[in-house]
Amino acid sequence: MVLNAITLGFIFALLGFGIFLSFKVLNFTDLTAEASFTCGAAISVVFASMGLPFLSLLLAAIGGALAGTITALLHTKLHIEKVLSGILTLTGFYTINLLITNFRPNLNLSRDARAVFPRDNPYVSLVIAIGFALLVAAALVLFFRTKVGLTVRATGDNENMVQSLGMDTDRYKIIGLALSNAVIAISGALFMQYERYYDASFGTGMMVVGVVTIIIGEVFSSRRHYTAIMLLGITLGSIIYRFLYMGVLYWTNQPQYMKLISALSIILFILLSRLRKMKKKEAAHALRHS
Amino acid sequence: MPLDIHNLNVDFNVGSINEKHVIRGLNLTLDAHDFVCVLGSNGAGKSTLLNAILGQVPYSGSIALNGVAIDKWPQHKRTRHIGIVYQDPLKGTAPNLTVEENLLLSMRTKGIARRADTKAFLLKAKEELAKLGLGIENSFKLPCNNLSGGMRQVVTLYMATSFDAELLLLDEHTAALDPSTAEKVMQITQDIVTSKGVPALMVTHNLDFALAYGNRLIVLNQGNVVFDVRGKEKEALTREQLLSSYASVLSDRALLQN
C-alpha cells in the first residue's frame, strides 16, 4: 500500500510539473489539464492494447500538446479569457476523448497486454515511475535553460518586458501550454498503464490535485527561482498528497471525502506559507531596527 | 533619417461622445545621434507619440525607421529595432529571473546562439555595468526583484541598447526614482546614448533634465510640436526663456520645480 502511494506520487508528480508550468511559470490559469490528462489516458489505453505501450506515451504527449495549443490559440488569437479558453477546450475534448476510445467510457487493459509497468512487481514499477519523473524533471530543467525556455519563463514573469525585447509572446504562450499539457497527458497515460484501467472521468478533479501538489511543494522549496528545487518540492508534495489520500481511504473507506480534503489542504497550506512569509517579514523588520 | 514621422494622427474613443484627438498631424524627423527631450503637459500626447511609434495604439499617417515604413509591423517586430524604457522600473525586467537571465534574454534578439558568445556577452555586460559603480555586477545571480528601482532602470536601459537598436524611447524613465538616483540614471543614459550612437526620444516632466541633457528639445501641446530647438540654440536656452513662452503648455509638475 505504501509502495503504491509512492509510485502514484511519482506518476502524479508529472501532473504537478505540467500544472506548475502553466499556473506558476506562465501565470496562465489553464483548465485544459483535466482534458489532457484524460486524453493521455485514452490514447494510451488504445495503443497499449495494440501492444505499443511506449509509443502510446509519445502519442499521448502529442495529444496533450494539441489540447494545450488549442487553448493557447483561443486565448492569444481570439482573445478569449484564459479560464474560458480552457473550459472550451475541456468541453470539446470530452467528446474527442470518447471518440478516441470509440465511445466506450471505460476500458480495461487486457491481462496479456504489455504496459510500461510490470503487472506483478511493485518495486520495479516504483523504479520506473521514479525514472519517468526524473527524466521529465531533467528535461524541463534543461528546457528552461534554453533560449525558448527562458523566454517562456519571462513571458509568465513580465509579458510587457518580453514584448519590449521584440519577441512575440503569443508564440511562447503556445509553446508553454503545449509543453505543460504534453507532460500532463504523459502523467494520465502512465496512470492508466499503472492501474491498467481507463475511465473517461479520470481527469475530473485533476486540476485541484495538481494545485495541491504545487502548494505543498512550495512549502518545501522557498527559493522558487531554482526550477530544479521547485520540481523536487512538487514531487515531494505529490507523494505527501498520495499518503493523505491513502489515509483518508483507510479511515473513511470513502474516496469521495478526498475532494473536501483537497480543498481544505489547499487552504491550510496557503495559510501556512502566508504565516511563514509574515514571520520572515517580521524577522527582517526586527533585524533592520535592532 | 533614423526616424521620420509624417502627418501622424491618433484618436481615442472614435465615434463615441468621449472622442479625443490626441495627436493631430504631427511631423517629426530625428537625425542620427539626435537625443531629443520631449516636454509637454499631461494629455499633450507625449506618451501617445511613443506608443504610436511602438505600434501600441492605432494611428493614421506614416512612421519610417531608417527609411523603412513600419506602419504595418506588429509591435514585437518594431521592438526588435526600437529599445524602450518605461517609467515603472518593474516594467522593464522580469522580476523572478536573475539579472543574468534578463540580460541573456535581451541578447536573444541579437541571435547569439553559441555558448562562447554568450559567455563573452555576459562578461562584457558585467564589465560595462561595473563601470557605472552601482554594484549591479555583484547581483548577476540574484533575481531582479532584489535590485533597487534605479538599478533595474539601468539594467533595462542596458538591455534596450545592448542589441543594435535603431532608436531608443525613454518614457519618463527617471520619474519614479529619488532625485539623486534619477540624476545618476540620467548621466548613465547620456553616456549610453552617446557611446552607442543611438538616436533617442526622451519624454520628461523634469525641466532641468530637459535643459541639461540631449542636443534637442521639443515641446508638445495638444498633439503637435509647438517648439523645437537644437544644438547651440538649445544649449543657450534658459529655464526662464522656456517658462516665459511655454509656461501655459508645460505640465504642473514641471512648473512646480521652480
> Does the CA dihedral A66-A67-A69-A70 come out positive or negative?
positive
CB contact under 8 A, B94 and A162: yes
Q: From its phi and psi, is residue A234 left (phi > 0), alpha (psi between -120 and 50) or beta?
A: alpha
Residue among A151, A163, A225 minimizing CB distance to B98:
A225
User: Could you report the per-residue pLDDT of B71-121, keeping only the tens digit for each?
Assistant: 999 988 898 889 999 988 888 899 989 999 999 888 876 666 666 678 888
What's the CATH code, domain A2-288?
Answer: 1.10.3470
**Which range, A92-96, A219-223, A243-247, is most confident?**
A92-96
Above 50 in pLDDT, residue A160? Answer: yes
B22 found inside a domain:
yes
Contact B141, B86 (CB under 8 A): no
Model ipTM value: 0.81
Per residue in B164-220, pLDDT (tens digit) is 789 999 999 998 888 888 898 899 899 888 888 899 999 998 888 999 999 999 999
- CATH code of the domain in which B53 resides: 3.40.50.300
Q: What is the C-alpha separation between A128 and A119, in angstroms, rounded?
A: 12
Model confidence at B249, pLDDT cuts 50, 70, 90, reads low
Asked if A225 and B96 come within 8 Å (Cβ–Cβ), the reply is yes
How far apart are alpha carbons A145 and A206 in whole angstroms?
Answer: 28
Domains in chain B, number: 1
User: Measured between CA atoms, how close is A150 to chain B, in angstroms?
Assistant: 7
Interface contact B104-A151, CB threshold 8 A? no
Cα-based distances in Å from A185 to A258, B32, B88, B207: 22, 54, 40, 59
- Residue B75: its chain A contacts at CB < 8 A? 163
Query: Which cell goes with A264?
Result: 481544505
SS (H, E, C) B174-190: CCCCCHHHHHHHHHHHH
B128 located within any domain: no
Average pLDDT over chain B, rounded to whole? Answer: 87
**Residue B116, pLDDT score:** 67
Mean pLDDT to the nearest integer, A45-50: 94
Domain containing B217 equals 3-93+165-256
Identify the pLDDT of residue B258: 45
b/e per residue A155-177 (b: at least 16 CB within 10 A)? bbbbbebbbbbbbbbbbbbbbbb
Res. B163 pLDDT band, cuts 50 70 90: confident
| Nearest CB partner across the interface for A166, out of B76, B95, B97 | B76
Please say if the pLDDT value at position A9 is more than 90. yes
pLDDT for A170 equals: 95
Mean pLDDT of A87-113: 93
Judging contacts by C-beta atoms under 8 Å, the chain A residues touching residue B76 are: 163, 166-169
**Contact (Cβ atoms closer than 8 angstroms) between residue B86 and residue B50:** no
Give one DSSP letter per residue of A155-186, joined into a string.
HHH-HHHHHHTT--HHHHHHHHHHHHHHHHHH
Kindly state the DSSP code that residue A23 receives in the 8-state scheme: I
Beta bridge partners of A199: A106
Cβ-based contacts under 8 A for chains A and B: 73
Beta bridge mates, B202: B37, B170
Q: Is the pLDDT of residue A25 over 80?
A: yes
Q: Reply yes or no on whether the pLDDT at A156 is more than 50.
A: yes
Contact A163 B76 (CB under 8 A): yes
Minimum-distance CB partner of A163 among B75, B83, B95: B75
State the amino acid at position B160 in one-letter form: A
- Given an 8 Å threshold on Cβ–Cβ distance, is A164 in contact with B84? yes
Alpha-carbon separation of residue B163 from A24, A103, A273, B33, B160 (angstroms): 29, 55, 41, 16, 7
**Residue B39 in contact with residue B204, Cβ under 8 Å?**
yes
CA–CA gap between residue B174 and residue B86 (Å, rounded) = 9
Share of chain A above pLDDT 90, in %: 66
CB contact under 8 A, B96 and A168: no
Choosing among A164, A225, A226, which should be mutated to test the B contact, i.e. which has the most B CBs within 10 A?
A: A164
Chain B residues at the A interface, defined by Cβ less than 8 Å, are 74-81, 83-84, 86, 90-98, 101-102, 104-106, 108-109, 113, 143, 156, 159-160, 163
B250 lies in some domain: yes
pLDDT of residue B255: 55
* Confidence bin at B43 (pLDDT 50/70/90): confident
State the pTM of this model. 0.87
Q: Quick check: is B150 in a domain?
A: no
Bridge partner residues of A237 (DSSP): none
Reduced to 3 states (helix: H, G, I; strand: E, B; else coil), residue B26 is strand
Query: B106 and A165: CB-CB below 8 Å?
Result: yes
Amino acid at A116: V
d(CA B258, CA B256): 5
Residue with cell 540580460: B103
Residue B189 lies in a domain: yes
Asked if pLDDT for residue A251 goes beyond 80, the answer is yes
Q: Which residues contact B124 (CB under 8 A, 6 or more apart)?
A: none
The answer to whether the beta carbons of residues A98 and A175 sit under 8 Å apart is: no
Q: Which helix (H) or strand (E) holds B21?
A: strand B20-30
